[in-house]
Structure 1
Amino acid sequence: MFKKIACIRIGGGSVTHDAAEEKPVAIFVNGRHLTTVILSPGGFEDFITGYLYTEEIIRSADEIESIRIEENRISVITKNIFKRVSVKKTILSGCGGAVSYIDTQKLPAIESGIVVAVPEIEAAAAALTGPLDSVVLASEGRVVARAEDLDRHNALDRVIGRGLLDRLDLSRTVAVCTGTVTSEMVRKCLMANIPLLASTGAPTALAVEVAEETELCIVGAAGTPEMAVYTHPERIEGMEG
């Protein structure tokens, strides 16, 4: 995931630096080009499984007939080879075609009775490693998937994909990430029915608004003394809604 490159220090002297690699990867589904994404190299099976799931192209990993991974291309064949697919980003609505708000009525609400203890969130946050954006998926205090990528949205798709391939009950998991929680990350958790999304950073205002209406618990500053719950505190052990 890293390549050594030469650079010159401002104060003098040449050194080498481990630079993160990025790779443009074209995604084809049933022979049709779906999109092109920028990824960190490797782990493409996890990514494409999670990505197709959170984009509502598949409903389970079992719908994938085959995945062919080439240098800059991922080709997927689904069991329904005649299904036409398209990318579904955060759902927006507006009058006269103008974008105005996210229609939460078109997003699924979390269906889970899980209550998470604070030490579980702290342990998952401690498992975040590396210089890239990182996401950990944990269940009952145990890390069940971990991923790094140039983009935390891609890393989230990677752990969701790993969870699907391992046949995990995602309604019993929590996702913990680095960086800012966005509305798009909230949408991905809703699609996967992950009831709690925590971050070492903080959420955007829009992410909080969407999560509040869809039963998703958001935790910020995870693993620090400033850890705070932004939505649905009833999902945290010892806290009331």
Structure 2
Amino acid sequence: MFMEVPCIKGELDSFHSDMHPVVEEIPLAVTVNGRHVLTAMTSPMMLREFVIGFLYTEKIIKGPNEVESLVIEGSNASVLTTDPFKILVSKKTVLSGCGGTMSFLDIQRLPEIKSDLVLTSDMIRSSVEQALKSELHVLTGGIHVVALYNASGKMCVVEDIGRHNALDKVIGYALEKEIDLSQTYVICSGRISSELVRKCLIANIPIVISRGATTTLAIETAKSRGLTIVGFVRSKKMNIYSGEERIEGNVPDSLKIP
């Protein structure tokens, strides 16, 4: 996940040669039924889960059972599906940065959340504190963390240079483990974007939580389709932007988000 690379370190006007840990970034070209559909810049771990999660959230497959074979060799992943004539998405390059992969978001065509999951504010605070203790992030300063939880606790934690990649890996992991995603929630270290919301809606993950910010389009999309967004979870504080009915205990009934 990281390599020690040489650099020149400076402090005020003093400089010296040293080594520093830097996260690894690799290109992964994904071919589906002979067609190149994706090149992702990602971290070199859980690549199978990433491919399955991405194909699922792009609606190329409805589940792992539609993957006839998945072979990863070096920087190439080759997928055969049970329907080799399925119409595929356009070729994409998913960068490791914070940009989304969708040029247009049709909110009304996204599925609505179907879940009875409810969390307390104490559960949110404690799970965020636990999930985001990343030694790799402390070491390198260059990694995102996405974790999958249910009411019983932590199920999966993924570190990746891109938070969208990390979410796809979490979803791919859950699909292969046959986890009921309607009873889970996601915690992420970075901003909650409309792309993260879109992926959660397709996977029917009802709650997404971050210690960081969100965006107006993410909130608009979440409100329209019944997803809960909680941001800026830090110490004793949090902001609930949508789906407040899923946070029980300390939210007065008189407080409704307009």
- Relative to the length of structure 2, the TM-score reads 0.86
Q: Say whether the 8 Å CA contact 2:114–2:204 is kept in structure 1.
A: yes
Q: Partner of 1:167 in structure 2?
A: 178
Question: 1:56-71 counterparts in 2 under 5 A?
Answer: 56-71=59-74
TM-aligned CA deviation for residue 223 of structure 1: 4.4
Residues 1:192 and 2:203 are matched in the alignment: yes
Q: 1:91 to 1:213 in 2, by over 3 A?
A: farther
Structure 2 residue aligned with 1:98: none
Contact 1:178-1:200 at 8 Å conserved across structures: yes
Separation in structure 2 between the aligned mates of residue 62 and residue 223 of structure 1, nearest angstrom: 40
In 1, distance between residues paired with 2:176 and 2:120?
Answer: 26
State the shift of 1:201 in Å: 0.1
Describe the shift of the 1:74–1:220 C-alpha distance in structure 2 as closer, same or farther (beyond 3 A). same
Rounded to whole Å, the distance in 2 between the matches of 1:179 and 1:84 is 33
Q: Flag structure 2 segments of 5+ consecutive residues without an equivalent.
A: 93-100, 138-142
Partner AA of 2:220 in structure 1: E
- Displacement of 1:86 in angstroms is 0.9
How many angstroms does 1:25 deviate by?
A: 0.9
Instruction: Name the amino acid aligned to 1:127.
Output: A
Deviations 1:163-212 (A, max 9, x none): 10100000000000011100000000000000000001011111111111
Q: Is the deviation greater in 14-23 or in 77-86?
A: 77-86
Query: Is 1:38 the equivalent of 2:41?
Result: yes
Letter in 1 for 2:86: K
* Aligned counterpart for 1:218 among listed residues 208, 229, 245: 229
1:91: Cα distance to partner? 7.0
The partner residue of 2:131 within 112, 124, 127 is: 127
Contact 2:131–2:187, Cα closer than 8 Å, also in 1: no
Q: Which residue of the other structure, out of 95, 112, 116, is the alignment partner of 1:113? A: 116
Residues 68 and 75 of structure 1 are in contact (CA less than 8 Å); yes or no, is this contact kept in structure 2?
A: yes
Mapped to 2, the partners of 1:78 and 1:199 lie a distance apart of 34
User: 1:97 maps to what in 2?
Assistant: none
User: Which of these residues, 85, 102, 108, is aligned with residue 82 of structure 1?
Assistant: 85
Structure 1 stretches lacking a partner, 5+ long: 93-101
Conservation of the 8 A alpha-carbon contact between 1:91 and 1:106: no
Partner of 1:95: none
- Deviates further, 109-118 or 195-204: 109-118
Alignment-mate amino acid for residue 52 of structure 1: L
1:27-52 deviation line (CA, Å, top 9, x unaligned): 00011111111010121011111111
CA distance in 2: counterparts of 1:180 and 1:29, whole angstroms: 30
- Does the 8 Å CA contact 1:66/1:77 hold for their aligned counterparts? yes
Q: Is the 8 A contact 1:2 1:21 kept in 2?
A: yes
- Which of 119-128 and 165-174 deviates more? 119-128
The aligned counterpart of 2:242 is 231
Distance 1:146 1:24 in 2: 22
4+ long deviations beyond 3 Å: 87-91
Tell me, in whole angstroms, the C-alpha distance in 2 between the residues paired with 1:167 and 1:223: 32
Root mean square deviation of aligned Cα: 1.5
- Shift of residue 124, structure 1, vs aligned partner: 2.5
Residue 233 of structure 2 aligns to a residue in which SS? coil
Q: Distance in 2 between matches of 1:223 and 1:144?
A: 22
The count of residues paired between Structure 1 and Structure 2 equals: 232
Residue 119 of structure 1 and its aligned partner are, at CA, apart by 2.7
Quote how far apart the aligned CAs of 1:8 are.
1.0
Shift in CA distance, 3/91, structure 1 to aligned 2, threshold 3 Å:
closer
Measure, in 1, the Cα distance between the counterparts of 2:208 and 2:103: 19
* CA offset digits 1:122-175 (Å, max 9, x no partner): 232122223110000001141111101111010010101101010000000000
